[in-house]
Amino acid sequence: RTDVTLFLVYLPQETGKDAFVKNLPTELKRFENILKKNNGGKGFLVGNQISYADYNLVDMLSNLEVLSPGCLKCTPVLKAYHDQVISRPKLKAFLESDAHKKLPINGNGKQ
């Protein structure tokens, strides 16, 4: 369980968002360091092929960008990874389709 998941699902936004957003660079660096260790940041989380773990991480990163626009700028390797995954042709087409209607992240309508 990460602090990201905890915030998105359980913490009250009114009292927890500012501290959470302030701590995001530290939390995001953990993922960036994993990517750097794997093929110098040019691969995926587990080896050189995309996996379920990558799709989960990219979904979480996309949610964080809604919560705190521009938050990935502090981690350029992680941002490039996110951009690389969401630009995959089939995923990009799905994300742009009517079938992909983004609901509020935590169901309360507050991002």
Q: Which domains are delineated in the chain? A: 3-96 (1.20.1050.10)
What is the pLDDT at residue 63?
Answer: 84
What is the pLDDT at residue 72?
Answer: 96
The average pLDDT across 81-99 equals 91
In which band, very low, low, confident or very high, does the pLDDT at 94 lie, cut at 50, 70 and 90?
Answer: confident
Q: pTM here?
A: 0.80
pLDDT per residue as tens digits for the range 13-51: 667 778 888 889 998 999 999 888 887 767 888 878 899
Q: How many helices (H) and strands (E) does the chain have?
A: 5, 0
Quote the CA–CA distance of 19 and 16 in Å, as a whole number: 6
